[in-house]
Structure 1
Amino acid sequence: MVGFNVRKVLDKQTQVVLFSSTAIALYGYDQGMMSLINTNKSYLSTMGITEESPIVGVIVSIYYLGCAVGAVLASKFADVKGRRPGIFACLATASAGNLLMFVAGFGKMGQSSNLALATMLVGRIVMGLGVGGIDSVVPVYSSELSSDDQRGTALAQEFQANIFGLNMAFIVNIIVTHRLGKWDQWAWRTPIIAMQIYPALLFAGANLLPETPRWLVFNGDEDRAKKSIARVFGKDAVDDRIKELRDAQKQEEEAGSVSYADMLLPSGSQFHPTIITIMGQVNQALTGYGAVSVYGPQIFELLGFGVTESEYITLGNYLFYFMMMTLAWVLIDRVGRRRLMLQGALWLSISFALLTVLGGLASNRQQLSIPRLATGIPSIIVLYLATSVFGIGWLVPPWLIPTEIFPSTARAQGAAISVVIWGLANFAVTLLTPIGFNNLKYFLLLVFAATNAIAWVLTYLYCPETGNRTFEENQEFFSAAAEKGSWRVAKVDGGGYRTLPKGGDDGHEESETSPLLRGRE
């Protein structure tokens, strides 16, 4: 058993997943990190703001603007210098931003709340530049080093690490907050600086990982590409994969290079896949889980729990989230990305509608003479399950699909656009959520019920199933859509892109509305 585990750790594909997972965990760590810092009295005093101030939301959300810019810069850098150098440049940037956040208001700087706030804002932006770049390059790096039928599993495993990062940050927050108190500056500085463990681990393992063969072939370095293939997939796979990459390179050279104009203008050759990418990230934001991740304790307070109770219940939610994410990488290549998103949006819409009712009952509990547990326990159950549904159905697909639908010459730009839209959408959500708390109260949850319904409709109409198909096969969908003159998935290729291709992992198609966990034939 020990020998088996050692061999698995030494396997290059496993190392790629571990490396990518650690990088993606940075994204989750930041979400968990700010959730309790936002309520720390020392932090608020140092920044010269109150807990109800809209500046709290600005500090959280401005990070996402940094992510949007970082994604564009990193994708360009990764196209020119390589996927792996791009990742390390982003790690260094994220680390620098984190250090700026840590020293904000420290020592003599603490004498000026304006200087402390400015330093924190700059730190958030710089860290966003790095993390946005990581979120842009890592999915491309991972997908280019995965087999066609394992891309979803690999990325889902990496995003489970995202939830690990969220849990780690929240646990560190709870420990230092309850040991030091909300008036101690180290109760908010410690969770910030603890993030440095991720860049340290990644830089330590830098030499273990190869560049992607696809990038090497497309940049004229076949010798290194062959070595990379041998390291990751084995020597027997070298000839076949090199031939596939040469053919793909030839096809894309004939098609010509792809610019951002080709992707963003309606007349552009990659406009359709770009809209699918944008739609996926907007729909993910519409699920409302950016708000739940960052403002989890406040959500439970809306549902009638006290401050300390909400913090521990939120921790339980995050831990359950992490465990249930295992189903994401078990299911994503078996049932497909589209079906997970459709069923996820449906159940999230129902869950938020139920939570609105429970929030209303909780806020009027005394007038209605309702026992506290009568609303509290159902609220916990519904929100825990809703969080799990989001993790299984919506956390991974909007990041995965852009890595599967663009040609190699546009894949990094496509991933960058994905992160830009994710950054802008989450900027809006995390900026507006505190305002929603203050003005809409529990009716904010009804807004999320409606936006999930919108996400379901858009996904059903326009999002193709990209699982268990080669990059080139997925691009054929867009050619067929252009010939048909319709973007409706049901009308393209006889509706063949509504489900996984026949002869997939189990040899038969399933309806996208079939229950996910029914017995397999």
Structure 2
Amino acid sequence: MSNPSSTLSGISSIMSKKNEIVLFSSTAIALYGYDQGMMSLVNTNKSYLHTMGISEESPIVGIIVSIYYLGCAVGAVIASRLADKNGRKPSIFICLATTALGNILMFISGLSSIHPLESSNWNGHAIICMCFGRVIMGLGVGGIDAVIPVYSSELSSDGGRGKALAQEFQMNIFGLLMAYSINLGITAALGKENQWAWRVPIIAMQIFPVLLIAVISRLPETPRWFMSMEREKDAKSALKDIHGDEDGKSKFDELQKAQEEESDAKVEYKDMLLPGGSQFHPSMVTVMGQVNQALTGYGAVSVYGPQIFELLSFETRKAEYLTLGNYISYFCFMTFAWLLIDVVGRRKLMVWGSIGLSVSFLLLTLFGGLNEVSGVPDLAIEIPGSIILFAATAIFGIGWLATVWLIPTEIYPSAARAQGSAISVIVWGLANFAVTLLTPIGFNNLKYWLFLVFAATNTFAGWWTWKYCPESGGRSFEENQEFFESAAKEGSWAVQKVDDGKFKSMPKGDDEEGNGERAPLLGR
């Protein structure tokens, strides 16, 4: 017979504050993925296109998708300021409420009780409501994407930051998979002419913000933010809530030491974005990380997956089911991301990821071209083309999905960490705005030659990362700042030339002599 006390202890461990934080952060990150999976089939729904008054080939399809990313960019700035001034938790709460409002506006756009392919009483204003909804939801999701990585990173150990964030981004893919599955299932049941085939997947997204708003009060504010506000009593209380009395006290002493060693200088955006600013170098690493991620082309693949399979000669319904299979594979292979990211390091994963993606897109160009050659059997294109696309998606997930979000949370001092994460989201938003806006135009004009463009952009992304991106894994926040201090002294940003290439890879061995923010707050 089982011991009741051991059973309760096991339940308590599962429902510990640490696990609640991980689950909350992961679910919040899933919002970003859900939108990508949701819009991939909404874009081809005949009722949706009629309600918006556009055709499937219209560039406005891409505009409606892409303006969401502009909202994300603005939301990141607002949320980061709130996170620094009022705390990480209040900022996250406001972002969740904003996301819910934008989602409702999208759902009601053009809502009518008459036949979906007849004129409604919205008189052409449905598209305006949809665009407002997309922008407002972007404000919320962009803010979440800016603050959640900071919130998670400030509560993670140096050796577990990568694993924690990669696990959260695996939930991002779960959100994408969930949205696409709901969308595909309802579309198969109701058809592409039914308005509920696109409205239900939109409103189903409400599950995430409503659930998160309901439980956010259970979670602690980060002790690091309390210390930055000189609220030591609250920091002690938060640490006690997470770790218990004894461990909480020892971790407070370590955190207090880190706070004393860190500069009190206030960091403004001008210090981060203007040449000569104190944080300009790490900001350029952040900016180029997001630009290079967008250049991999996988923002386009996530949103326009079915259209890409159609370029490999699949008919529409098969292309939709293959896209679902690709997302399932994507989710599963993300497990390797959190297994490798703190072992191999961020930099190696990105460089090898770019190489793998470049080769994959070159092969996809070849098979796309063969599709235009008469006499080539469809299976000779469909089977290897699908395998390559599945492999490329997995490579992106392992090498590029979480890494560029993690690095900005590791290379800034506390005074600039939220702003650095915001810059990451701003650039992500602007870069993905451009990619998702131009991709439909590329499909319509370049066809399979678009793959060759992505092969070239991946080559550039890999080269830049190898040349200029330092390895930030396995080091304390202060140790990572040493790279930028040394780069300034030596007058070079090239990783191989700074500190004799010390930051080309993860630190060797377990160096426990580091101080400052090396102290773990959430053991993994």
Alignment TM class, shorter chain as reference: over 0.9
Q: Any residues of structure 2 matched to 1:403-442 within 5 Å, and which?
A: 403-442=409-448
Using the TM superposition, give the Cα deviation of residue 234 of structure 1 relative to its aligned residue in structure 2, in angstroms.
Answer: 3.8
Equivalent of residue 346 in structure 1, options 342, 355, 361: 355
**Is 1:393 equivalent to 2:393 in the alignment?**
no
Superimposed CA distance per residue, residues 376-397 of structure 1 (whole angstroms, 9 cap, x where no aligned partner): 1101111101100100000001
> C-alpha displacement at 1:477, in angstroms?
0.8
* 1:183 is aligned to 2:219: no
- The answer to whether structure 1 residue 377 and structure 2 residue 383 are counterparts is yes
Cα distance between partner residues in 2 of 1:236 and 1:341: 40
Judge conservation of contact 2:483–2:503 (CA < 8 Å) in 1: yes
Is the CA contact 1:28–1:165 (under 8 Å) kept in the aligned structure 2? yes
Provide the rounded CA distance (Å) in 2 between the counterparts of 1:218 and 1:488.
Answer: 33
After the TM superposition, which residues 43-58 of structure 1 pair with which residues of structure 2 at under 5 Å, given as runs? 43-58=48-63
Q: Do the aligned partners of residues 360 and 8 (structure 1) sit closer, same or farther apart at CA in structure 2, a change above 3 Å counting?
A: farther
Which residue of the partner structure matches residue 18 of structure 1?
Answer: 23
Question: 1:444 matched to which residue of 2?
Answer: 450
Kindly report the root-mean-square deviation, in angstroms, between the aligned alpha carbons of the 2 structures. Answer: 1.5
Counterparts of 2:459 and 2:323, CA distance in 1? 25
Query: Which moved further from structure 2: 320-329 or 10-19?
Result: 10-19
Indicate how the Cα distance of structure 1 residues 329 and 437 shifts in structure 2: closer, same or farther if over 3 A, else same.
same
SS of 2:318 mapped into structure 1: helix
> In the alignment, is the contact (CA less than 8 A) between 1:48 and 1:113 conserved in 2?
no
Aligned mates of 1:489, 1:208 — CA distance in 2: 42
Q: In 2, Cα distance between the equivalents of 1:249 and 1:180?
A: 58
- 1:494 correspondence with 2:503: no
Structure 2 portions without partners, runs of 5+:
1-5, 114-118, 512-524
- Structure 2 match to 1:310: 319
Letter in 1 for 2:281: H
Give the 3 Å change call, closer, same or farther, for CA 442–137 of structure 1 in structure 2: same
Q: Residue type of the partner of 2:333? A: M
3-state SS of 2:270 partner = helix
Using the size of structure 2 for normalisation, the TM-score is 0.93
Residue 161 in structure 1 maps to residue 167 in structure 2: no
In 1, distance between residues paired with 2:132 and 2:364? 37
- Matching residue of 1:514: none
Indicate how the Cα distance of structure 1 residues 479 and 240 shifts in structure 2: closer, same or farther if over 3 A, else same.
Answer: farther
The share of aligned pairs that are identical, in percent, is: 63
> 1:121-132 to 2 correspondence within 5 Å?
121-132=131-142
Q: 1 CA distance for matches of 2:480 and 2:47?
A: 52
1:289-308 superposed matches below 5 A: 289-308=298-317
1:142-153 equivalence runs, <5 A: 142-153=152-163
Q: Structure 1 stretches of 5 or more lacking a match?
A: 506-521
Structure 1: distance between partners of 2:224 and 2:171: 25
- Compare 354-363 and 87-96 and name the one that shifted more: 354-363
Structure 1 Cα separation of the partners of residues 419 and 120 of structure 2: 41
Cα distance, 1:5 vs structure 2: 5.9
User: SS at the partner of 1:110?
Assistant: coil
Per-residue Cα deviation, 1:264-312 (whole angstroms, up to 9, x for no partner) = 1101000000000001000100100000000000000011100000000
**Residue 326 (str. 1) matches residue 326 (str. 2):** no
CA contact (8 A) 2:239 2:249 kept: no
Amino acid across the alignment from 2:77: V
Do structure 1's residue 33 and structure 2's residue 38 form an aligned pair? yes
Instruction: State the match for 1:362 in structure 2.
Output: 371
CA distance in 2: counterparts of 1:282 and 1:2, whole angstroms: 49
Secondary structure at 1:39's aligned position in 2? coil
> Could you say what secondary structure the match of 1:114 adopts?
coil
TM-score (norm 1): 0.94
Residues 1:277 and 2:278 aligned together: no
Residue 148 of structure 1 aligns to a residue in which SS?
coil
Q: Which residue of 2 aligns with 1:237?
A: 247
Give the AA of the match of 2:183. N
Distance change >3 Å, CA 376–CA 245, structure 1 → 2: same
| Aligned-partner residue type, residue 503 of structure 2 | Y
